[in-house]
Amino acid sequence: MLEKKEEFGAKPIRITLQSGPGQLICPHWHSYFEYIEILEGAMTITVGQTSYPVSRGDIVFIHSGLFHAGHSENGCMLRALVVPASEWNGSAPDLSFLMADYNPVIGKNAELSQLLTLVYKEYSVEHAYQSAAIRALLSLLNIYICRIFALTGELKHNAAVKKAAEFILKNFSSDITVEELADHVNLSKFHFSRLFKEITGLSPIVYLTRVRISRAIVLMEQTDLTMTEISSACGFSSPNYFNRVFKAFTGSTPHKYKKLMYQP
């Protein structure tokens, strides 16, 4: 599977329309966020190692850095909205926990579909302040998607796990232990670890590591920091350990990932 690079031009996003039977989405990954809306027919979308059947009206959200592909036996039409990380950061809450094996299929959602339609309309007509209008709509869209995943799930209903996750997101560059997290939410280490895994699907340490990898990717995309500096900024004990963990989570070394980012 290869990394896909998008040409955004003067617009802050990219929208594509694809149709037909066969491999509509070739196996690939990219550092962007992507919304896929099924307009007609049905297909199977694979994200990571899991395949999901989707049909007309369904909306799928692909998190940054995940391998994905799509195939239709009898024909399908889809519309894809690709959002670079620079347009996401600062406009919505964090979604680092979705680096887990989350279900990317939102399904049929009238409000989200309406927001996507507004973005599509603004994108397709050239006029004054187009980019500003798209960014304003994109901010609402990003917040809405965060609400769907972060505020309607079990994380909302468990204050201890939510508090621990917020602590990780604020302090990921520090040397955080499970004992420290458990103390922070006034639970025993055993009970906290079991509860955190039950709610998020990840152990506290894996969650922390995924947050660090997510931050490292953002720094690689948006700064000129060296890998050693990025490793330190993201809380890894050494560049060698950073290399091993990064490859385990993404399938690529940090240097290879960085090199691919700048290939035409």
Residue-level pLDDT at 152: 43
Residue-level pLDDT at 43: 95
Q: By 3-state DSSP, what share of the chain in percent is helix, strand and coil, each rounded to 5?
A: 50, 25, 30
3-class state of residue 9 by DSSP? coil
**189-226 tens-digit pLDDT:** 998 998 888 777 778 998 898 888 878 887 887 788 99
CA atoms within 13 A on the CB side of 123: 23
Measure the CA–CA gap between 54 and 73, rounded to whole angstroms. 12
Torsion of CA 156, 50, 29, 172, to 10 degrees: 40
Measure the CA–CA gap between 144 and 138, rounded to whole angstroms. 10
Q: Which domains does the chain have, with CATH numbers?
A: 2-151 (2.60.120.280), 158-261 (1.10.10.60)
Residue-level pLDDT at 81: 92
Residue-level pLDDT at 243: 92
User: What is each CA distance from 160 to 173, 192, 195, 226, 235, in whole angstroms?
Assistant: 21, 8, 9, 36, 23
Residue-level pLDDT at 162: 79
pTM of the complete model beyond 0.75: no
Consecutive 10-residue averages of pLDDT for the chain (264 residues)? 60 87 86 91 88 93 84 93 74 54 84 91 84 86 78 56 86 93 92 83 85 84 88 93 87 79 51
Residue-level pLDDT at 1: 45
Cβ-in-10-Å burial (0-12, 13-18, 19+) of 125 comes to exposed
